[in-house]
Amino acid sequence: MTTTAPSYPVVEGEYHLGTVHLQRGGSIPNAKIAYKTFGTLNADKSNVILYPTWYSGFHVNNEWLIGEGMALDPNVYFIIIISAFGNGQSSSPSNTPEPYNAARFPNVTLYDNVVNQHRVVTEHFGIEKLKLVVGWSMGAQQTYQWAALYPDMVERAAPFCGSAKTAPHNFVFLEGVKAALTADAAWNNGWYTAPPTKGLRSLARVYAVWGFSQPFYRQELWRKLGFNSLEDFLVGFWEGFFLQRDANNLLAMLWTWQNADISANEHFNGDIEKALKAIKCPTVILPAKIDLYFPPEDNEWESQHIPNNKFVVIPGVWGHFAGGGLWDEDTKFIDNELKELLSK
């Protein structure tokens, strides 16, 4: 087998923001935002797609939606995968020096993420227009926030399997995720010296049934992912994923997610309808049919308040992970919607 290098530039980088003062108080000294770019920025900087990461996702976890011939084609666009705070690549509990490390990493809001990403895009890259902002899950939440805060900059938005404001049941789901991790004494209120693996495995098992749908499990579709038993899937896919993550990072992002609300800032003062109305650009909202924590109903409500949107449900039974890049049919569905949106 030979690996062919891509015919377009792929660059990983970080932008240092200095001290970032946070919306809910506190600050991150020498804060940084990590990114990875695909393709070439054109002369008038008009070919930019911004693609924020999801809960605990690294850059690499976003890459399935990028490729030649796809909507996110690096031969055409300059695509920036940008890391949310807490993901372990941008400033996070795991990589921030004392005294703001580990359990002392401050609370970061959705707003904090987006206004600082805006600095990376404008100060670092000198970009004034975004052809598209697109993202999955917490990446979708950042997409909504971008479109609402910067309506003159964001030309198109495509949030998939996410919401503009975390719904209460989603909040409670995350309470369970948090409780499962923090029940492990090894977590030690965040001051662990070795990873609290029991808690990470526990979190993974709680998460497992939420990520996919009832029919996904009924039809044993984990077999399509190469696992030969349900237990194998729980260990290999779920525990394997979360054991690679830092517990404090997971808790930091969990707080961001639980409190995500695009209207929770001075621009909208908690008026979610006002914030949704501020999204002027053509928007495609793509929930998955049986997403258990970001169910289509929540997006349907949102779509009634966003002026220029297309609301379309990703069919099938992969649940939230319809947006995870695991299943070709779902990926093609999303890709087609993005192609249509970009052609406008």
Which one, 95 or 197, has the nearer CB to a second copy? 197
Q: How many residues bind a second copy (CB under 8 A)?
A: 41
Task: Give the shortest CB-237-to-a second copy separation in angstroms.
Answer: 12
166 binds a second copy (CB under 8 A): no
260, 141 contact by CB (below 8 A):
yes
Question: Residue 187: which of 104, 246, 101 has the closest Cα?
Answer: 246
Among 9, 18, 176, 240, binds a second copy (CB under 8 A): 176
The total of other beta-carbon atoms located within 10 Å of residue 8's CB is 18
Least Å distance between CB 214 and a second copy?
A: 4
Q: How near is the Cβ of 213 to a second copy at its closest, in Å? A: 7
The stretch near a second copy (CB under 8 A) out of 85-93, 147-155, 177-185, 335-343 is 177-185
Nearest to 308 by CA among 344, 272, 339, 343: 344
Give the x-and-dash track for 185-204 against a second copy (CB under 8 A). xx-----------xx-xx-x
Pick 1 or 194: Cβ nearer a second copy: 194
182 is an interface residue for a second copy by CB under 8 A: yes
For residues 60 and 183, which CB has a smaller minimum distance to a second copy in the complex?
Answer: 183
From 11-19, 57-65, 84-92, 174-182, span contacting a second copy (CB under 8 A): 174-182
CB of 165 to a second copy, least distance (A): 11
> Does the footprint of a second copy cover residue 144 (CB under 8 A)?
no
172 is a site residue for a second copy (CB under 8 A): yes
Q: Strand 78-82's sheet: what is its strand order?
A: 10-21, 27-38, 78-82, 48-52, 132-136, 157-160, 283-285, 309-311
Based on C-alpha coordinates, what's the Rg of the chain? Answer: 19
Q: Return the structure tokens found at 51.
A: 């693609």
Report DSSP letters for 133-151, one per residue.
Answer: EEEETHHHHHHHHHHHH-T
Least Å distance, CB 38 to a second copy, is 35
Query: Which residues inside 209-248 make contact with a second copy, applying CB under 8 A?
Result: 209, 212-218, 220, 230, 234
Per rule CB under 8 A, is residue 173 in the interface with a second copy? yes
Buried b (16+ CB within 10 A) or exposed e, 153-192: bbbbbbbbbbbbbbeeebeebbeebbebbbebeebeebeb
Say if residues 16 and 32 touch (Cβ distance below 8 Å).
Answer: yes
The residue (of 199 and 282) whose beta carbon lies closer to a second copy is 199
- How far does Cα 139 stand from its chain's mean position? 3
Least distance to a second copy, CB of residue 236, Å: 14
- What x-and-dash track marks residues 11-50 binding a second copy by CB under 8 A? ----------------------------------------
Long-range pairs for 14-19: beta carbons < 8 A, 24 or more residues apart: 14/90, 15/119, 15/120, 15/123, 15/124, 17/116, 17/119, 17/120
By C-beta, is 124 or 198 nearer to a second copy?
198
Distance CA 57, CA 277 (A): 29
What residues are labeled active site? 137, 291, 320
- Spell out the residues 6+ positions from residue 227 whose beta carbon is closer than 8 angstroms to its own: 233, 236, 237
* All residues at 6 or more sequence positions from 27 whose CB lies less than 8 Å from its CB, including other chains: 19, 20, 21, 106
Q: Which residues bind a second copy (CB under 8 A)?
A: 167-169, 171-173, 175-176, 178-186, 198-199, 201-202, 204-209, 212-218, 220, 230, 234, 292, 295, 297-298
